[in-house]
């Protein structure tokens, strides 16, 4: 009887020990699970939320930029229309001025020609006063792509015989084109190149 009692007590103790061990294991598992979930929430969940927030911020920024682009495009179109309108009005005014004073357009053309040939601003203004301008120096020919030098010449604006409203720049009494061709002829003759009369006339457009 005593032996049976002792065996029963030992078995009971063993069972209690096993129950305690299992409870400890279960508790440890619960703690580990909670810790893992906490870590996952801290690193995983916050990272996902942060990325989502960044994406939302980028979407908002992109939408703002798109709106700004559309606004700039609309403003650019308005300015282009205004510019076109102003340009057309100015052209109309210029056309009216040219119609009333046709020589102004001719003088502007000759002013540009004078600067291209090599006259400075001061000398060009003298020529545009419709007075003879005596000069020496070099002038550039676009036809021959070089400069021709003169020791004493006179530049003057004269009306065309065929149309008084048309003006031409003359040098030594002839057109600038004819003057350069004459200078080229003198240069060729100086270096021993002979030019046939018909060739000379053909070059001068006669």
Q: What digits encode the pLDDT tens for the residues 166-196?
A: 899 999 999 999 999 999 999 999 888 877 6
Average pLDDT score over residue span 139-150 = 96
Lowest mean pLDDT among 4-18, 115-129, 137-151: 4-18
Average pLDDT score over residue span 16-30 = 56
User: Residue 127: which residues within 8 A CB-CB, separation 6 or more?
Assistant: 110, 114, 119, 133, 155, 156, 157, 169
Lowest mean pLDDT among 9-18, 44-53, 164-173: 9-18
pLDDT of residue 7: 57
d(CA 52, CA 70): 27
At 146, give phi and psi (nearest 5°): -160, 170
Q: For 90-134, how does the pLDDT look when each residue is reduced to its tens digit (9 = 90+)? A: 888 878 777 777 788 899 999 999 999 999 999 999 999 999 999
Average pLDDT score over residue span 66-95 = 85
d(CA 67, CA 57): 15
Q: Where are the domains of the chain?
A: 63-100, 102-203
State CA 57 to chain mean position distance.
33
């Amino acid at each position: 009887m005593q032996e049976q009692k002792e065996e029963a007590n030992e078995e009971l103790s063993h069972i209690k020990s096993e129950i305690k061990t299992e409870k400890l294991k279960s508790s440890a598992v619960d703690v580990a699970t909670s810790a893992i979930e906490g870590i996952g929430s801290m690193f995983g969940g916050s990272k996902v939320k942060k990325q989502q927030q960044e994406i939302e911020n980028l979407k908002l920024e992109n939408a703002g930029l798109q709106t700004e682009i559309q606004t700039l495009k609309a403003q650019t179109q308005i300015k282009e229309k205004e510019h076109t309108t102003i340009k057309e009005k100015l052209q109309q005014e210029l056309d009216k001025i040219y119609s009333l004073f046709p020589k102004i357009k001719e003088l502007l053309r000759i002013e540009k020609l004078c600067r291209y040939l090599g006259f400075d601003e001061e000398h060009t203004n003298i020529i545009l006063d419709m007075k003879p301008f005596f000069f020496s120096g070099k002038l550039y020919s676009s036809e021959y792509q070089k400069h021709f030098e003169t020791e004493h010449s006179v530049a003057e604006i004269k009306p065309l015989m065929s149309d008084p409203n048309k003006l031409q720049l003359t040098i030594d009494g002839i057109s600038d084109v004819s003057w350069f061709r004459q200078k080229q002829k003198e240069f060729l003759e100086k270096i021993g190149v002979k030019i046939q009369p018909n060739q000379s006339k053909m070059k001068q457009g006669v």
